[in-house]
Amino acid sequence: MKVGLVGFQAGGKSTVFELLTGIAPDPSKAHSGQVGLATVADTRFDALVEHYQPAKISPARIELLDTPGLDRRQQDVNLQRLAIIREAQALVHVVGAFSGIDPLEEVTRFSEELVLADLQILGNRIERLETDVNKPRPDRDELRAELEALQPLAAELESTGSLAGIEMTETQERVTRSFALLARKQRLVLVNTGEAEEDTGYAGAITSNGYGLMAAAVGLELELGALDESDRTEMAAEMGLSGSCRHELMQAILHVADLITFYTCSDKEVHAWLLRRGSTAVEAADSIHSDLARGFIRAEITPSDSLLELGGEKEAKAAGLWHVEGKDYVVEDGDEIFIRSGI
């Protein structure tokens, strides 16, 4: 799972990358994109660590991809830059509002770039298919089915500028998979405000497009992060900042990426794991180790919020909140899981 930091040049993408990964952007990778691991800030994980006092702690991590920014004037270079974004499963669009840019206008401009790039790919394929279906080829029926699957998608994209909300048929999923369409990816708009923000008049219009939205003074938060705790608290209070946007931002990223967190806990290790929402217990087992999935017998579940509230596993069990589930159990955000496995 890779989350792409995207947007026009000088919006603050690399600043966000450094804030979340702790890695200073490498100028030699500015054109190709840079990947780094960000630790997921998670108060529930911190509370579980406090409770179990384990020998080892393993917070969840997520891969971030810092990408070269799009050029406002030179649209032709953007197609190539957008190709780098295709490998990301979800997008964080960093909007440099600190330099006076209007967030709403910028979101519209950026979406137009993505739509143009997708339409070019779809259009090329459609054009090719339109010729090929008229040739005496053995796979004519298949090609016609592909053409009929793609045409409404191109039309939808052209008229609405998005594919994020639509239900695709199985054929449509299959024939578009290799395109990794940008307009299909879930998106969080991160408005980089430069200082504590007052005007949020743009919010309604952005969220009504189906995008997640968050505002933060990313540059200042990065500077705050370099201070020791008492200076940080003082300066944050002075500037009206939370000083903890990392937590909010990581959680917002998990939300748009449709990821939930489950935990495995003992006095040896407390480990947070990310899982696609809707995944089953056996898929959770597989994300830990394929052997655990192969030998899966059952999953023992305790909702971690209840465990923390009641003071422990035993207490949660006594309250009837511990439950045993099979392979097909759909894991919930916050589940503490113990996998019984025969291997």
- Residue (20 or 206) nearer to ligand GDP, CB: 20
Taking CB atoms, the residue at the shortest distance from Mg ion is: 14
Nearest to 66 by CA among 25, 109, 38: 25
Joined tokens for residue 293? 């999935």
- Residue (12 or 243) nearer to ligand GDP, CB: 12
d(CA 238, CA 234): 6
Per partner kind, with CB cut-offs from 5 to 8 A, the member of Mg ion, ligand GDP, none near residue 123 is none
Smallest gap from residue 82 Cβ to ligand GDP (A):
15
Residues at the contact surface with Mg ion, assessed by CB under 5 A: 13-14
Phi, psi torsion values for 329, nearest 5 degrees:
-55, 130
Chain-centre distance for alpha carbon 150: 26
- Residue (14 or 304) nearer to Mg ion, CB: 14
Per partner kind, with CB cut-offs from 5 to 8 A, the member of ligand GDP, Mg ion, none near residue 9 is ligand GDP
d(CA 46, CA 59): 9
Pairing of strands 61-66, 2-6: parallel
Per partner kind, with CB cut-offs from 5 to 8 A, the member of Mg ion, ligand GDP, none near residue 78 is none
- Residue (68 or 334) nearer to ligand GDP, CB: 68
Smallest gap from residue 9 Cβ to ligand GDP (A):
5
Residue 149 CA: distances (Å) to CA of 164, 176, 180, 274: 16, 9, 16, 33
- Residue (14 or 21) nearer to Mg ion, CB: 14
Residue 205: strand, helix, or coil? helix
Other Cβ atoms within 10 Å of 271 Cβ, number: 19
Residues at the contact surface with ligand GDP, assessed by CB under 6 A: 7, 9-15, 69, 94, 98, 192, 194, 217-220
